[in-house]
């Protein structure tokens, strides 16, 4: 074995806007949406000890709560406005919106992207929507709004699967998105704990934040039989 270092070192702290709602990282850049300021900021993180903002704050819709990045585009969901926006980020110093705002169901709260498709979960409506973004200037919804668990919050994609955590239902659902026109749930609802919010997946494990101030760790190597394998306490949770 080698040495194990369990210490986390804070290399830098960077001021952002009011109530940052989400962050996405792609390459040398981090994209932050500020919910109360209705804008997005881009930071060059190539040197983690010297992070600098690139360009100016970019106006979004009202209440941006989630952001996902793929290729030359950033996808922003606005909770208050119930919209999805697409931004061309090929030149981080000159970011422009592509096309018009796209209406979502009520209260979009989580967004994930895979290939030519964007997946949006709507907190107020408790639905999942799929959008074809192959032409960002002419986005179309694929299929109809899909009812899911109560108050979905977090959404992340690993391979052909979409993982969604649901605050109102205290659970996680996993969906097969291999065919975006026919999204289906895999296995049963997975109990996560009180008010599950953020979710991340790495290898055979899913990590779900709960309002009980912990992270639940789940073995997802068999998606039809997901089991919890541990819990890690954290500080007070809000979001994820």
Rounded Cα gap, residues 121 and 146, in angstroms: 9
**What pTM was estimated for this model as a whole?**
0.92
Helix (H) and strand (E) counts in the chain: 0, 22
What pLDDT does 56 receive? Answer: 94
Which phi and psi angles does 26 have, rounded to 5°? -145, 120
CB 145 within 8 A of CB 127: yes
Tens-digit pLDDT string for the chain (240 aa): 444 455 667 766 788 888 888 999 999 999 999 999 999 999 999 999 999 999 999 999 999 999 999 999 999 999 999 999 999 999 999 999 999 999 999 999 999 999 999 999 999 999 999 999 999 999 999 999 999 999 999 999 999 999 999 999 999 999 999 999 999 999 999 999 888 889 999 999 999 998 878 899 999 999 999 999 999 988 765 555
What pLDDT does 193 receive? Answer: 83
Three-state SS at 175? strand
């Amino acid at each position: 074995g080698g040495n194990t270092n369990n210490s986390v070192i804070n290399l830098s702290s960077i001021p952002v806007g009011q109530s940052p709602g989400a962050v996405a990282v792609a390459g040398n850049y981090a994209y932050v949406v500020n919910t109360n300021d209705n804008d997005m900021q881009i930071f060059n993180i190539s040197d983690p000890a010297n992070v600098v903002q690139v360009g100016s704050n970019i106006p979004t819709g009202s209440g941006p709560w989630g952001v996902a990045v793929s290729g030359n585009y950033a996808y922003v969901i606005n909770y208050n406005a119930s919209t999805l926006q697409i931004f061309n980020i090929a030149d981080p110093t000159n970011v422009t919106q592509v096309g018009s705002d796209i209406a979502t169901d009520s209260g979009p709260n989580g967004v994930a992207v895979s290939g030519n498709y964007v997946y949006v979960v709507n907190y107020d409506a408790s639905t999942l929507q799929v959008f074809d973004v192959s032409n960002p200037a002419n986005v179309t919804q694929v299929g109809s709004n899909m009812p899911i668990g109560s108050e979905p919050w977090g959404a992340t994609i690993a391979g052909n699967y979409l993982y969604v955590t649901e605050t109102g239902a205290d659970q996680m659902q996993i969906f097969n998105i291999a065919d975006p026109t026919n999204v289906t749930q895999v296995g049963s609802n997975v109990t996560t704990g009180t008010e599950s919010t953020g979710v991340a997946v790495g290898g055979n494990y899913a990590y779900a934040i709960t309002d009980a101030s912990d992270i639940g760790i789940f073995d997802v190597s068999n998606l039809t039989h997901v089991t919890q394998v541990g819990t890690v306490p954290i500080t007070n949770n809000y979001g994820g």
